[in-house]
Amino acid sequence: MAHLNHAEYHLEKQKAFFASGKTRSLEFRKSALQQLKALIEKNAGEIIQSTQLDLGKPEIEAYTGELGLILNEIKIALKNLKNWSRVKKVRTPLIIQPGRSLIRQVPYGVVLIISPWNYPFFLSLAPLVSAIAAGNCAVIKPSELSLNTSSCLASLIRKYFDPNFITVKTGGPEVSVNLIAQRPDFLFFTGSTTVGKKVMAACAEHLIPLTLELGGKNPCIVNDCTNIRTAARRIAWGKFFNAGQTCFAPDYIIVESSLKDRLVAELKLAIGKFYGKSPGKSPDYARIISEAHTNRLHQLAKGHTVLSGGTFDSSKKFVSPTILDVTDWNAPIMKEEIFGPLLPVLEYTSLQESLEHILKLGEPLTVYLFTEDPVVENKVRDTITSGSLNINTTFSHIMSGHLPFGGVGSSGMGRYRGRAGFETFSYKRSEFKRSFLFDTTFIYPPYKTSLKFLKKIMPFLF
């Protein structure tokens, strides 16, 4: 087939590998997860280095954000795989007895995982853990922007796995488009809402089921707090981890007006303690992925009063942790996902009005709420639709492999991590096996049973 490029050729081989049935046994899946664990543990140094080349990731952030959480995912999967895979026996109605009714959780087949550049390892390998656990073959298409990590990932996967089982295809959007056209059996996409819409349209063409992990504007509502210092520290950490390039980072703060000055003062203090007087010299502060994104952030900050930070250096892909005083909900910075270390602070006097503003920005991936008032907690919970809700904290939900992760509406659809990931990468197949011992002949034509009699016995038959 001379006209096929390399990517096209490969998906065919994967489909054949899946059809061989090898990936389905518990032993195969467990051993593949052990192999993935070995890949991470034996190559952690090289992996961390590649994230440092792309994003200047601090070692601790690279290890925790990229690798530690995947190792935890593997641990949870290995411990629970047998239980998750258990065939469920359900009741068999009289009309089809004697027989056996079962629900099996079965893999889709060849799954395509398309990932972004901000956590290039985690966002490729965490879904892969679930894909393997459920018994699929996988093709990973990492981002073309995180060049070093994507090529490191490709070479490690090649070294540790049979390419007919798991492989990485590097390149730009055209590679994804090409792979989708070959009809993978399931698609797991992590990226922007704009591209997510295109991916979903392409999947609709072939009826490929999919999960979308998208972005959006995550509000951080500060309503009341007895411990504003701890609140500020938690917000600053969540915002400036990986220089704000985290899909579930607080995008902006909306604070009750009487608390604003104290909160800003505490945020400045926290930033100073984290990164010192010159964050550019701190080994604990990451860089922006590209010059273009650095310039985009600079543009977004323009026109707002800088309360802290405000240094932009595109040649060094550096943006300092920056707090901005924002008063206009219609400013460009309030229209798009920031995805960088700019933290707008808006104030409110009416919680109701502020919730109405938040609602207009689409469904967030997560909502951060700082309050000790249960009435406010219930109000926010019941008013805003979001993928998750974090109260008096940031980032905590991602640290648990037992909490399903994902968005809703404009921030995506579907869930993963732990059991939720296993269920996402498999589907429930109903299975019924009937005995030849007895046959309910009255169901066959010519129908002799009167309708009146049938109506009477129906409730007992089903």
Interacting residues with ligand NAD (CB under 6 A): 114-118, 123, 141, 143-144, 172-173, 176-177, 190-192, 195, 198-199, 213-215, 247, 337, 339, 365, 407, 412
Residue 121 CB, nearest approach to ligand NAD (Å)? 12
Rounded distance between C-alpha atoms, residue 275 and residue 307, angstroms: 16
Residues in CB range of 252: below 8 A, 6 or more apart: 217, 219, 220, 326, 333, 334, 338, 343, 344, 345, 346
Nearer to ligand NAD, 140 or 259 (CB): 140
Distance of closest approach, residue 251 Cβ to ligand NAD, in angstroms: 9
Q: How far is CA 51 from CA 45, 91, 340, in A?
A: 10, 52, 17
Active site residue 137: no
CB of 425 to ligand NAD, least distance (A): 15
SS3 of 212-268:
EECCCCCEEEECCCCCHHHHHHHHHHHHHHHHHCCCCCCCEEEEEHHHHHHHHHHHH
Q: Which is nearer to ligand NAD, 143 or 322 (CB)?
A: 143
Query: What does the alpha-carbon distance between residue 282 and residue 280 come to, in Å, rounded to a whole number?
Result: 6
Which residue bears the tokens 């009750």?
256
Order of strands across the sheet that contains 99-107: 88-90, 99-107, 426-434
Tokens of 434: 């009937």
- Nearest-CA neighbor of 346 among 178, 220, 216? 220
Dist. CA 117–CA 267, nearest whole Å = 28
CB closer to ligand NAD out of 59 and 144: 144
Q: Which is nearer to ligand NAD, 247 or 270 (CB)?
A: 247
Q: Between residues 192 and 385, which has the closer beta carbon with respect to ligand NAD? A: 192
Determine which one of 213, 256, 266, 423 is catalytic.
213
Min separation Cβ 114 and ligand NAD, Å: 5
For residue 186, the cross-strand partners are 111
Q: Residue 175 or residue 267: which is nearer to ligand NAD going by CB?
A: 175
Question: Is 213 marked active-site?
Answer: yes
DSSP character at residue 126: H
For ligand NAD, give the closer residue by CB, 102 or 181.
181
Which has the closest alpha carbon to 210: 430, 424, 411, 390?
424
CA 301, 306, 311: angle at the middle one, nearest 5? 70
Instruction: State the minimum distance, in angstroms, from the CB of residue 209 to ligand NAD.
Output: 16
Q: How far is the CB of 202 from ligand NAD (least distance, A)?
A: 6
Question: What's the rounded Cα separation, in Å, for the pair 110 and 104?
Answer: 18
Query: 17 or 252, CB closer to ligand NAD?
Result: 252
Catalytic residue, candidates 203, 247, 256, 363? 247
Three-class secondary structure of residue 328 per DSSP: coil
Q: Where are the alpha helices (DSSP H) in 302-434?
A: 351-360, 374-383, 418-424
Least separation, in Å, of the C-beta of 144 and ligand NAD? 5
Could you give the C-alpha distances from 349 to 49, 74, 154, 276, 353, in angstroms and in order? 47, 46, 52, 33, 8
Smallest separation, CB 196 to ligand NAD (Å): 7
Pair 347, 325: CB distance under 8 Å: no
Residue nearest to ligand NAD (CB): 215
As annotated, the active-site residues are: 213, 247
